[in-house]
Amino acid sequence: GRIAALEAEVSRLGDLLNEASLFTRDPDTYNKAVAGLETAGTDLSNAEGRWLELEELHQTLTAG
């Protein structure tokens, strides 16, 4: 669930940042979106890495 939520957040922020006039119209929102996207991207990468570690551990334990 956490990975799906982070993917949705990354997608939402990416869509927001794709608005061509966002920076000139609302620089504060733009800056918050950039920071949020960076944080969500890092969190997503960490969560995916942890999921892979757990999946590998599961495979090791069930193969033996």
One DSSP character per residue, 8-30 reads HHHHHHHHHHT-TTHHHH-HHHH
Decide if pLDDT at 64 tops 90: no
> Positive or negative CA dihedral for 50, 55, 61, 64?
negative
Its pTM stands at: 0.82
pLDDT at 63: 87
Decide if pLDDT at 3 tops 90: yes
- The pLDDT tens digits of the residues spanning 18-58 come to 999 999 999 999 999 999 999 999 999 999 999 999 999 99
